[in-house]
Amino acid sequence: MIKTVEQYLESLNDGREVWCLGEKVKDVRTHPTVSTIVRMAAMDYVLPNHPDFRDLFVTKDADGEDINFLLTSPKTPQDMLRRRECYMAGMRTGGGVLVHCMGADALASFSVAAEVMDKKMGTGYTERVENYRRHLQKNDLALTGAITDVKGDRSLHPSQQKQHKDFYLRIVDRQKDGIVVRGAKVHISASPCANELLCLPCRTHGEADKDYALGFAIPVAAKGVKLLGVEPNVRLYGEECEFDYPTSDHLQPSESLIVFDDVFVPWERVFMCGEWQYSQVLAYAFASYHRLFGTCKMTGTLELMTGAASLIAEYNGVQNMPHVRKKLAWMAYITETVQMLAKQACLDPVTEFGMDVMMPNRMAINASKWTYASNFHTMCQHMQDIGGGLTTTVPAFRDWDNPEIKPFIDKYLAAKDGVSTEERLRILRLIKDGTGNHWQVDTIHGEGSMAAQEMFIYGSANWKKFQAAAKRAAHMDGWQDDTTYGKLPLMDQCVQMPPIDETYKSFAPTAKK
Ligand SMILES: Cc1cc2nc3c(=O)[nH]c(=O)nc-3n(C[C@H](O)[C@H](O)[C@H](O)COP(=O)(O)OP(=O)(O)OC[C@H]3O[C@@H](n4cnc5c(N)ncnc54)[C@H](O)[C@@H]3O)c2cc1C
């Protein structure tokens, strides 16, 4: 089935245990800040019901019933590309795949590991995963992936931890109908607005760690599951919020620390139980799928950042300054490289476990993720640099909206003719919202912009000395009167060597003209 937004919202009214700022949340849909995460997640149910996106997001199951495409297993490069298109459309919309990304990636990796374990060990996991997949499809459930354990001392394996044995989620009891698990997962995105948690290991295991080799799915509202420390941005509402926080208004932090306080998991929801040799397969498969999502998420963000930098350059009248063009060209290059590498990962997928399920090409997808992660901070720096100090000192909506002071702001914070002050302020607020804190911009623009320092540095650099160094090394005249290089002794004037043995004809020096 394909749920409506209303049906999805109703499904969250299930008695889940969520804590925010020290208080128990009565209902995630009506809480002042947690509801903003839910609103973002509800976009997952807008797109499949939208006439322009239905064909992309909706496919049929074996019974001919409509289901969400992201809940199917990718079997061809075209499936991988379509998955990527869904992720990109969602992220460009602003949060439209929040509860179908980590969870869908975890589901895909369960299929990979199940098939490998069934082949090598004769387990029956594939059937269980497929039954569970059908349950998700038939009920159009929202899901997320809980992979990262709290980990304690990172230098120790799970079973070697000193203070207690629950730093990694583990099996504490095997019963007739299922298992009991204990531990905690941390930073789990979308957890307050998901129906289901798909849990898998975040590292490889040795035999001593076999109780930690654990994969399963559990409803968020299951007994003993506690979502702690959810802290979405505390925000203003309405127009004020849209003006001051244009992106973080809808792209809210949704992470929580999830405690599994002796949670019972029935066997039909257990997809790995002690097969420590295959934790690696599961963890690596998840990483490959999820990096594909990450690159799509980032493409939307990088497009926005590059666009904001180019708009503010235009609004400030600096778009043709050579150093600004160079920065904009670099931003466009990073943005396009990330998305092209991710596309390549889909076009050239891997089937290395000998199955019919495909995974993104490992080199291409990791190169894509690495490209954005290692260049992201420079992207922020360029936005802040091009935008100027106003990227942090830009007035807020309440100032702009006050008729007594608005005319002054309007007059003095205008820039290029033909661009309204409001447009300029909105883009500046977007940059401020996206690049974070005051001190970052203060570091760049306080005491003058970086281009101003470059100008002074250029002006005060001892070019004569640098050129003398180069000329001397290139055996050209013009360095002799330099105060540093002119004084230095020349090797061939100071060191007298015996004459060259001219029987080495090919090495004989060319006669001086
Ligand atoms: C906003 C956000 C959302 C996230 N969403 C999710 C989610 O939905 N689901 C999920 O499962 N996870 C999620 N994560 C978790 C993310 O995958 C982890 O933060 C990441 O894997 C790093 O783990 P860590 O935070 O425990 O840091 P650490 O593991 O403590 O890493 C800190 C540093 O220590 C190094 N280090 C740690 N252990 C070792 C070691 N054994 N050998 C060498 N170096 C080591 C690391 O390389 C790194 O440099 C999210 C994280 C963030 C920030």
| Ligand 1 atom showing the smallest separation from residue 155 Cα | 41
At residue 492, what is the residue type? D
Among protein residues, the one whose CA lies closest to atom 53 of ligand 1? 187
- Using a 6 Å cutoff on CB, does residue 160 contact ligand 1? no
CB contact at 8 A, 200 and 106: yes
CA-wise closest residue to 254 among 122, 57, 110, 95: 95
d(CA 381, CA 441): 8
d(CA 483, CA 488): 9
Among protein residues, the one whose CA lies closest to atom 48 of ligand 1? 154
- The 10 Å Cβ neighbour count of residue 487 is 8
**Cα–Cα–Cα angle for 236, 237, 238, nearest 5°?**
140
Structure confidence by residue, pLDDT tens digits, 136-176: 999 999 999 999 999 999 999 999 999 999 999 999 999 99
CATH numbers and ranges of domains, the chain: 5-282 (2.40.110.10), 292-448 (1.20.140.10), 463-503 (no CATH)
At residue 187, what is the residue type? H
Measured on CA atoms in the order 188, 257, 245, 392, is the torsion positive or negative? negative
- Using a 6 Å cutoff on CB, does residue 157 contact ligand 1? no
User: Average pLDDT in the 11-29 region?
Assistant: 95
Q: Which helix (H) or strand (E) holds 261?
A: strand 256-266
pLDDT value at position 511? Answer: 64
Report the SS3 class of residue 138.
Answer: helix
| Ligand 1 atom showing the smallest separation from residue 147 Cα | 11
- Using a 6 Å cutoff on CB, does residue 164 contact ligand 1? no
**Residue 206 pLDDT > 70:** yes
- Using a 6 Å cutoff on CB, does residue 411 contact ligand 1? no
Confidence of residue 444 (pLDDT cuts 50, 70, 90): confident
d(CA 125, CA 484): 75
Report the SS3 class of residue 449.
Answer: coil
Q: What is the side-by-side order of every strand in the sheet holding 270-273?
A: 143-146, 196-199, 214-219, 270-273
The residues near 8 (Cβ < 8 Å, ≥ 6 apart) are 41, 42, 44, 45, 140, 142
Stronger pLDDT, 33 or 448, i.e. the higher one: 33
Report the SS3 class of residue 184.
Answer: strand
- Using a 6 Å cutoff on CB, does residue 471 contact ligand 1? no
CA of 150 to the centre of ligand 1 (A): 9
CA of 148 to the centre of ligand 1 (A): 7
Whole-number Cα distances in Å, 495 to 152, 385, 498:
64, 52, 10
> For 199, which DSSP code?
E
| Ligand 1 atom showing the smallest separation from residue 154 Cα | 38
Choose one of 147, 154, 191, 204 to mutate for the ligand 1 pocket test, by most ligand atoms within 8 angstroms of C-beta: 154
- The 10 Å Cβ neighbour count of residue 331 is 24
Place of tokens 């090919």: 506
Structure confidence by residue, pLDDT tens digits, 30-55: 998 899 889 989 999 999 999 999 99
CB contact at 8 A, 146 and 233: no
Structure confidence by residue, pLDDT tens digits, 457-488: 888 889 999 999 999 989 899 999 999 999 89
- Using a 6 Å cutoff on CB, does residue 255 contact ligand 1? yes
Structure confidence by residue, pLDDT tens digits, 366-387: 999 999 999 999 999 999 999 9
d(CA 296, CA 175): 41
> For 476, which DSSP code?
-
User: Average pLDDT in the 247-273 region?
Assistant: 91
CB contact at 8 A, 213 and 272: yes
Whole-prediction pTM value? 0.86
Confidence of residue 235 (pLDDT cuts 50, 70, 90): low
CA of 459 to the centre of ligand 1 (A): 45
- Using a 6 Å cutoff on CB, does residue 334 contact ligand 1? no
Given 3-state DSSP classes, what are the helix, strand and coil percentages for the chain, each rounded to the nearest 5? 50, 10, 35
CA of 163 to the centre of ligand 1 (A): 20
Q: Per residue, what are the HEC states of 83-117?
A: HHHHHHHHHHHCCCCHHHCHHHHHHHHHHHHHHHH
Q: What is the DSSP string of 272-340?
A: EES-GGGHHHHHHHHHHHHHHHHHHHHHHHHHHHHHHHHHHHHHHT-TTSHHHHHHHHHHHHHHHHHHH
